[in-house]
Structure 1
Amino acid sequence: MSSFLHRLGRASAAHPWRTICAWLIAAGALFGLAAAFGGTPQEDYNIPGARAQVGIEQLREHLPGAGNASARVVVHDPTGDRLGDADLATLESRLKGMPHVVSAVPAQRSADGDTAVVAVAYDVPVTDPDLMGNLDPLDRAVTPLRDAGLQVELGGDVPESAAAPMKGQGEIIGIAAALVILVFAFGSVVSAGLPIASALVGLGVGSAGITLLAATMNVSNSAPMVASMVGIGVGIDYALLLVTRHGEFLAEGHPVTEAAGRAVATAGRSVVFASSTVLVSLMGLRLAGLPTYSAFGFATAIAVVSVAAASLTLVPVLARFAGRRILPRRVRRELARTDGAVATTPGGVGAPDGRLSRMPLTARWARKVSRRPVLWAVAATVVLMTLALPALQMRTWPQDPSSQSTELTTRRAYDLVSAEFGPGANGPLTIVTDRTALSEGDVAEVAGALDERADIVAITPSVTSPDGAITVFDAIPAYGPTDERMGDLVRDVRADLPSGVELTGGTAFFSDIADLLAGRLWIVIAFVVAVSVLFLAMVFRSVVIPIKAAVMNLLSIAAAYGVMTAVFQWGWATDLLGLDQAMPISSWVPILMFAILFGLSMDYEVFLLSRIREEWLRTGDSRASVVQGLSATGRVITSAAAIMVAVFLGFATEVDVVVKQIGIGMAVAILLDATVVRMVLVPSTMALLGDWNWWLPRWLDRLLPTVRAEVTEVPDATPDGAFAEDQVADEQERELIGTR
C-alpha cells in the first residue's frame, strides 16, 4: 500500500493541474447526475416492527385522511373573549381549500370559549414533497385571523416538519473556529487553510453523492446535517495529519513533491485505515432496525469517503502550490540558514537538542504520566466513571414540540392545547377496532373499560369507516406524551385490549420506538466493538491494545451519555441552550452517537498508536515509545479534537433540540477522548503494561491478515520494494517478540 500511496501523493503534487482537472471532471459528473437523477431528502415515518404500525395501516386502508399527514390550527383570543362562530367557519372553509386536504374537522372549543382547535387531515403522508417542510398554505389560510388580532399557532405533522429548519450556522461556526485553532497551532495561515480547503471540497462532492442516495432510498432531512458535521471534522483531521507529516519531510530537506509523496505514503495509511474504522462503525447503524438509520449511515459514509479521497489527492496539490510557506516563518528562516534542512523532534521542527525543557509539551506530559502510571490510570478512570453515573438514569423518548423552544409556533400550539384542554390532549391514544371481530356492543365495552381507568380522562365519540370495516375512537390520557408514565400506560392498555383491537397514534408510536431502539442499542454496540477490535488487532498485532481501546472508548462515550443526561434530563444547563425545561434524551440520539463516536475515537487511536508502534519496532523500548509517539501526534490530535469540539458545539446552537443533544453529546465525548483518554489513560496503561501491550498468541498471529496503519520509511516505488518493506517490519516484530 505504501508504494501505491507514495506514487499517488507524488504524482498529485508533481502534476497539480491534472489532479485538479480530474477532480473537476468527477465533481461535474456527480453534480450533473445529482441534478438529473438525484432525489430530495425526506423522512420515512413508517416503523417496520412497531406494533402501532398495524393500526396506522388499517386507518390508511379504510378511513380517508386517517393515518396520513395532519395539522392542528389553534386559535386563541388573548383578551379572553369568546371566539366568533363566523371567524371559525371561514377558517375551516379556507383550510378545506388547501392542496391535499381531505377534511377540516369543525372547531373544538375550550370550556371558556376563548380557544379553539381545528384538525386538518390530508390525503398523503407528511413525507410527500408538497407537504414536507411547507407551511405556506397554512400561513396563508390563517393570516386573516392573525391580522384581526387573534393568536393563531400551528401544530401537528406538517408544521412540525417545517418549524425548526437548519440554519447552517453550525458549519460556519465550526469552520471559523477551525481556522483560528490551526493558525495558533501551526503558526502559518497557509498550513491552517489547507486542511479546511481540502475538507470543504470533499464535503461538497459528498453532498452530490447524498443527493444521488436520496434517489434510491428515503434519506432523513437530518442525515445531510449529520454527514456535514462528521465530514467537516474528519476531513480536517485527515488533511491535518497529512499536512503535519508533509511539513516534517519539508523540514528534513526533501523537495516539495517528494515530501508530499512521503506524507501520503506514511500518514496516508493512517487516513485509509482510520476512515475504514469510521465506515465500519457507521455500517453498524443498519442493525438498529429502522430504515432511517441506514440512510444516516450511508449518507455519512459518503461524506467520509469523499473527504478522505480529497485529503489523499488534494492536500499534495495544495502543498505543492504552498511550497515552503506551509512551514512557520521561524522554520523557513532556519532552513535558509542551515542550507535546506532542520533537525526535527517528533511532533515539531526546529527543536534540535533533546533537552527536556525544549521537548514538546505532550512529551513532557507523557513522561510525567508514565512515572506514576497507576495513580494516573485510576484517576482518569474515576473521572470518566463519575461522569458516566447519570447515564444509569437516562430515559429515552422521541422528542415532541413540548421540548422545543418557545420561539416555535409548534411549541406555542402545544402549550395552548395543554393549558386549555389538558396535557393528554396533545397525545391521544387512538383505538382501532376490527368490526369483523367485534360487534357494536364489543366496541362500546372496550371504550367503557378504558373510560374507567384513572389514567384516562376522556373517550371521544367513535367513528366508523365508510366501508364499515373499522371503528375508531381516541382515549385521552391524564398526562402529556413525554411524561415518564406514558410508556407503562401504553403497555398496560395494549395488554388489556381484546383480539381485533389495536392501539396506535403518535404517542403509541413513540413508546414503540423507545422500546425498539433501547433493545437494538446493545446489538449495535456489540457489532461495532467486535469489528473494531478485530481491525485493531490486525493492524497493531496485539490482543491487549484493541481490547483496551474498546474499553476506553466505551468509557468516554458512557461519560458523554452521563453529561447529556445531566444537561438535558436533569436540566442542569438547559437555560444556556435556549431551552426552558428538562426533557428526556431523544430515542434517536444514543445509537447514532455511539456509531459515529466509536469510529471517530478509533481515528485518534490509530493516529497515536501507529506512531507509538513505529518507535517500539525501532527501539524496543515500550515506555520511551509512548513518550515519542505522544510527542509526535499530540499537537495533531489536540488540534483535531479542538476543531471537532468547535464543530459539534456549533451545531448545538441550532434551534432543533435533537440537533442540540447530538452536538453537545459528541462535543463532550471528543473532548474527553482527546484529553482524559488519549493524554492520560493511554500513556498510563501502556507504561504500566510495557511489552505486554503488544502480546499476540502465535496461532492468532498466523490467522490474522497483516495491515499496517503507518510506516516510517517510504518503500521503493516497485513491487519488490513494497514487499521488502513489509518483510523487514515483520522481521523486526518477530525479533522483538522473540527476545522479550
Structure 2
Amino acid sequence: MTSLLARVGRACVAHPWRTITGWVLVLATAFTVAGAVGGVPQDNYDVPGLRAQAGTELLRRVFPDTSGTEARVVLHMPGGQPVAEQLAEDVTGRLREVADVGNVGTPRFSDDRDTALIDVRYTAPVTDLGDDIVQRLRDATSAATAAGVQVEFAGQVGEQEKAGGGAGEAIGLLVALVVLLIAFGSVLAAGLPIVSALFGLGAGTALTLLVAAFTDVSTLAPTVATMVGLGVGIDYALLLVTRYAEDVRGGLPPRVAAVTATGTAGRSVLAAGATVLVSLSGLLVSGLPDFRSIGYATALVVLATMAAALTLVPALCALSGQRIVSRRHRTRTSAAAAMPTGSERWARRVARRPVLWGLGALAVLLALGAPMLGMRTWPDDAGSGSVDTTARRAYDLIAAEYGPGAYAPVVVAVDLSTMDPAELPGLGARIAAEPGVAEVSPPLVSEDLTGAMIVVQTDYAPRDERSAEVVTTLRDVVLPDGAEVTGTTALYIDLAGLLAERLWWAIGMVVTLSVTVLVVVFRSILVPLKAALVNLLSVAAAYGVLTAVFQWGWGAGLIGVDRPVPVSTFVPLVLFTVLFGLSMDYEVFLISRIREHWQESGDPVDSMVRGLAATGRTITSAALIMVAVFGGFVAAGDTVTKMIGLGLATAVAVDATVVRLVLVPAAMVLMGRANWWMPRRLGRLLPGRPRTSAYVPQEEDGTPAPVG
C-alpha cells in the first residue's frame, strides 16, 4: 500500500498543474450536473414496523383528504383582549384556499378567549409541500397580523422554519486558519489544508445532491456531513503537510518529500478514513431512512476529502517547495533541532509513572461520563427549539392556553371492519376515564364507514415520561383489536424505543469492524482492543457532558438553550458512529508513528516517546481545529445541531488530551512488547507484510530518486 500511495504521489508531484486543473474540472462538472438534475434534502417521516406507523397508514387509507401533514394556526391577542370571532372565521376561510389543504377545523377558543387554535390538515406529506409552505400560511393569515394579532404556526409545517445561525462553518475555518498559522508559521502552509478540505467538501456535497435526486436525504445530513468533512478534511491534509515539512527540514528535496509524505502519512490517512467509514456503517442498522442517508452523505464527503488530501496536497506541496516551511524553521540550528520538544518531555514524564497517569486519566473520563447513566432521550420537538422559531412560540402559547398536552395530541385510529361503529362512543368514554387523559374529541367516522379516529389530549407535555405511560395503557389495556394509537407523540415514543435498542446493535457492529481494520493495519491484537476501549470512554464522556448541559441545564443558557431538555433521540446513535471513527483518526496518527519507531528500535518505551514527540503537535493542532469547527455549529439555532456540535467538540477535546496524550501512552508503556503481539497463524493470513522503515523513493545507489 505504501508503494502504491507513493506512485500516486509521484504522479501528482510530477504534474501538479494537471492535478489542480483536474480537481477544478471535477468540482465544476459535479456542481453543474447537481444543479441540473440533483435533488434537495428532505426528511422521510415514515418508519415501517412501528406501531404508530400502522395507525398512520390506516388514517391515510380511510381519510385520504387529510392523510398528509398537519399544521395548527395560533391566533393570540396580546394584552388579554379577546380574539374577534369574525376575524377567526375569516382566517379559517382563507386557510381553506391554501394549496394542498384538505380540511380546516373550526376555531377553538381558549377559556379567556384571547387565543384561537385552528387545525389545518393537508393532503400531502410535509416533504412534498415545497419550501414556501410557511410563507403560504403567513399570506393566508396576513389580515390577522395587520389587526395586531400574534400569529404562530405549530405542527410539522411550523417546525420547518429553523432558527438562524449558520455561521458555524465560517467560525470554524477562521479558527482553523489561526491555529495552522501558529503551528507552521507560514501563511502558505496554513492555507493549504483548508484549500484541500474545501475541495473535498465541495465534491462530496455535489455528490450528495446527486444522490438526493434518486432517494430521500435527511435535512440533517448536510449539516453532519459538513461538520465531519471540514474536520477530517483539514486533519488529513494537515497530517500530510506536517510530514512533508518534517522531511524538508530533514534535508529531503521538496518533490521527494511530497512523494514520501504521500507514501507514509498517506497510509495513515487511508487507515483513518477507513475507520471513519466503518463507523458510519453503524447508521445502516438504525432502521430509519433518514439515518441511512446521513451515513451515505457523510461517507461521500469523507471519501472526497481523502481523495483531495492524497492527490491535491502532494501537488500543492510540490508547487510550494520550501516556502511551506517558515524561514525560522528553515534556519534552525542543528543544536536547536536536537532539543527535546514539549511533546517529548511530556511523553517521558508519562513514561516514568504510567500507572499514576493512567489511573488519573481514567478517573477524569469516568467523571465526565457519569451523568450519562441518567440520560433520557426524546426526539427533538418544538418545545426544545429556539424561541426565535414560530413553532416554539406556538408551543408555549398552546401549553399556556390549552394545557401541556394540547400541542401534540394522541390520535386513536380505528378499523371499523373489526368493530361496530355504534361502539365508538363507548370507546371514547373508556379512553376519557383513564388517568392522565384531559380531553377526548367525538369520534370522526369516514364517509365509507371503514374507519374512524378519536383525538385524545393528555395532561402532559409530549416529552413528559407520563405521556408514554398513557400511550402504553391505551395500547395494552383500553383499545380493542383493530384500534391503534398514532400521532406525533406516539411516533416519538416508538422512535425512542427503537433507537435505544438499535444503538447497541450499532455499537457492537462498529467496534467489531473497527478492531478488525486496525488488526490488519497495525498487525497487533492488543493495540486495536485498547483503542476500542478508550474510544468508548471518549464517547461516554461526550454523552455525559450532553446530559449535564441539556438535560440538567448546566450552562445551557451560554449556548442559547433556555430550558432543560432531554437529549434528542437522534443524537446518541449519530454521535457514536461519527465519534468512534474520529477518535480512531487520532489513534491511527499516533500509533502509526510509534509503530515505525518500534520497528526500528524494538524498544517499547522509546518508540512511544518518539512517536508521541513526532505527532503531539500535529494531534493538538488537529484537535483544536476540529473543536473550533464543531464548536462553531453550537452557535446554530437548531437544538439537535447544538447537541451534535457540542458532543463532537467535547469528545475530540477529551480524546486529543486525556486519551491520546495520557491514557494511551501510559497503557502502551505498561503493555510493553505485548503491544505488538500477533499470533503467527493469524499474521500469515493477514494481507501485506510488516514494514521495516518509512518509505523513501530511492535510486539503486540509495540516493533519493528524482521526481518529474
- TM-score, normalised relative to structure 1: 0.92
User: Does residue 77 in structure 1 map to residue 62 in structure 2?
Assistant: no
Q: Which whole-Å CA distance do the structure 2 matches of 1:627 and 1:408 have between them?
A: 52
Offset of 1:243 from its aligned partner? 0.4
Letter in 1 for 2:119: A
Letter in 1 for 2:503: L
Cross-structure match for 2:314: 316
Cross-structure match for 1:513: 495
Cross-structure match for 1:119: 119
Cross-structure match for 1:389: 370
Letter in 2 for 1:193: G
Q: Is the 8 A contact 1:256 1:319 kept in 2?
A: yes
Offset of 1:716 from its aligned partner? 5.5
User: Does residue 42 in structure 1 map to residue 42 in structure 2?
Assistant: yes
Cα deviations by residue, 1:459-507 (Å, 9 ceiling, x for unpaired): 0111011121111111111111011222222222211221110100000
Q: Is the 8 A contact 1:288 1:517 kept in 2?
A: yes
Cross-structure match for 2:674: 692
- What is the identity percentage for the equivalent residue pairs of Structure 1 and Structure 2? 49
Q: Which whole-Å CA distance do the structure 1 matches of 2:674 and 2:331 have between them?
A: 44
Equivalent residue runs for 1:136-151 within 5 Å:
136-151=135-150
Equivalent residue runs for 1:461-610 within 5 Å:
461-496=442-477, 497-610=479-592
Q: Which whole-Å CA distance do the structure 1 matches of 2:564 and 2:692 have between them?
A: 46
Equivalent residue runs for 1:627-666 within 5 Å:
627-666=609-648
Q: Is the 8 A contact 2:597 2:607 kept in 1?
A: yes
Offset of 1:131 from its aligned partner? 3.3
Cross-structure match for 1:737: none
2:79 aligned counterpart, secondary structure: coil
Q: Which whole-Å CA distance do the structure 1 matches of 2:211 and 2:385 have between them?
A: 30
User: Does residue 252 in structure 1 map to residue 250 in structure 2?
Assistant: yes
1:586 aligned counterpart, secondary structure: coil
Q: Which whole-Å CA distance do the structure 1 matches of 2:127 and 2:692 have between them?
A: 46
Q: Which whole-Å CA distance do the structure 1 matches of 2:380 and 2:250 have between them?
A: 55
Cα deviations by residue, 1:216-244 (Å, 9 ceiling, x for unpaired): 21001110111010000000000000001
Cross-structure match for 1:370: 351
Offset of 1:168 from its aligned partner? 2.7
Q: Is the 8 A contact 2:594 2:612 kept in 1?
A: yes
Cross-structure match for 1:31: 31
Distance 1:148 1:708, change over 3 A: farther
Letter in 1 for 2:78: P
Offset of 1:99 from its aligned partner? 1.1
Q: Which whole-Å CA distance do the structure 2 matches of 1:173 and 1:318 have between them?
A: 25
Equivalent residue runs for 1:66-105 within 5 Å:
66-105=66-105
Cα deviations by residue, 1:655-713 (Å, 9 ceiling, x for unpaired): 00000000111110111100010000011011111101111222222233337799513
Equivalent residue runs for 1:338-353 within 5 Å:
351-353=336-338
Cross-structure match for 1:712: 694
Which of 382, 393, 407 does residue 426 from structure 1 map onto?
A: 407
User: Does residue 455 in structure 1 map to residue 436 in structure 2?
Assistant: yes
Letter in 2 for 1:675: T
Q: Which whole-Å CA distance do the structure 2 matches of 1:185 and 1:577 have between them?
A: 29
Distance 1:263 1:493, change over 3 A: same
Q: Which whole-Å CA distance do the structure 2 matches of 1:709 and 1:702 have between them?
A: 14
Letter in 2 for 1:467: D
Number of residue pairs matched? 700
Cross-structure match for 2:292: 294
Cα deviations by residue, 1:594-630 (Å, 9 ceiling, x for unpaired): 0000001111111000100111110000001000000
Letter in 2 for 1:158: V
Which of 410, 420, 432 does residue 439 from structure 1 map onto?
A: 420
Q: Is the 8 A contact 1:370 1:687 kept in 2?
A: yes
Offset of 1:322 from its aligned partner? 2.0
1:437 aligned counterpart, secondary structure: coil
Cα deviations by residue, 1:565-608 (Å, 9 ceiling, x for unpaired): 00000111111111211010000000000000000111111100
Cross-structure match for 1:724: none
Distance 1:363 1:146, change over 3 A: same
Q: Which whole-Å CA distance do the structure 2 matches of 1:700 and 1:409 have between them?
A: 60
1:39 aligned counterpart, secondary structure: coil
Cross-structure match for 1:398: 379
Cα deviations by residue, 1:537-559 (Å, 9 ceiling, x for unpaired): 11111111111110000011001
Offset of 1:247 from its aligned partner? 0.7
Q: Which whole-Å CA distance do the structure 2 matches of 1:711 and 1:640 have between them?
A: 25
Offset of 1:439 from its aligned partner? 1.0
Q: Which whole-Å CA distance do the structure 1 matches of 2:616 and 2:691 have between them?
A: 17
1:161 aligned counterpart, secondary structure: coil
Q: Is the 8 A contact 1:75 1:116 kept in 2?
A: yes
Q: Which whole-Å CA distance do the structure 1 matches of 2:541 and 2:42 have between them?
A: 33
Q: Is the 8 A contact 1:6 1:717 kept in 2?
A: no
Which of 201, 212, 220 does residue 203 from structure 1 map onto?
A: 201
Offset of 1:273 from its aligned partner? 1.3
Q: Which whole-Å CA distance do the structure 2 matches of 1:710 and 1:57 have between them?
A: 62
Cα deviations by residue, 1:103-123 (Å, 9 ceiling, x for unpaired): 221111111111001111111
Cross-structure match for 2:153: 154
Letter in 2 for 1:273: A
User: Does residue 676 in structure 1 map to residue 675 in structure 2?
Assistant: no
Letter in 1 for 2:298: T
Q: Which runs of 5+ in 2 are unaligned?
A: 704-708
Distance 1:710 1:185, change over 3 A: farther
Q: Is the 8 A contact 1:270 1:709 kept in 2?
A: no
Larger deviation, residues 156-165 vs 516-525: 156-165
Distance 1:617 1:709, change over 3 A: closer
Q: Which whole-Å CA distance do the structure 2 matches of 1:76 and 1:709 have between them?
A: 73
Q: Is the 8 A contact 2:67 2:122 kept in 1?
A: no
Distance 1:707 1:30, change over 3 A: farther
Q: Which whole-Å CA distance do the structure 1 matches of 2:331 and 2:198 have between them?
A: 31
Q: Which whole-Å CA distance do the structure 2 matches of 1:198 and 1:709 have between them?
A: 29
Q: Is the 8 A contact 2:27 2:203 kept in 1?
A: yes
Q: Is the 8 A contact 1:528 1:595 kept in 2?
A: yes
Q: Which whole-Å CA distance do the structure 2 matches of 1:453 and 1:398 have between them?
A: 25
Cα deviations by residue, 1:291-313 (Å, 9 ceiling, x for unpaired): 11110001000100111111111
Q: Is the 8 A contact 2:598 2:607 kept in 1?
A: yes
Cross-structure match for 2:134: 135
Q: Which runs of 5+ in 1 are unaligned?
A: 335-341, 344-349, 722-740
Which of 587, 592, 597 does residue 615 from structure 1 map onto?
A: 597
Offset of 1:11 from its aligned partner? 2.2
Distance 1:397 1:285, change over 3 A: same
Which of 166, 169, 179 does residue 168 from structure 1 map onto?
A: 166
Cross-structure match for 1:106: 106
Larger deviation, residues 48-57 vs 586-595: 48-57
Q: Which whole-Å CA distance do the structure 2 matches of 1:117 and 1:59 have between them?
A: 22
Equivalent residue runs for 1:190-339 within 5 Å:
190-334=188-332
Distance 1:230 1:474, change over 3 A: same
1:424 aligned counterpart, secondary structure: coil
Offset of 1:281 from its aligned partner? 0.8
Cross-structure match for 1:703: 685
- TM-score, normalised relative to structure 2: 0.96
Q: Which whole-Å CA distance do the structure 2 matches of 1:59 and 1:257 have between them?
A: 67
Q: Which whole-Å CA distance do the structure 2 matches of 1:598 and 1:541 have between them?
A: 20
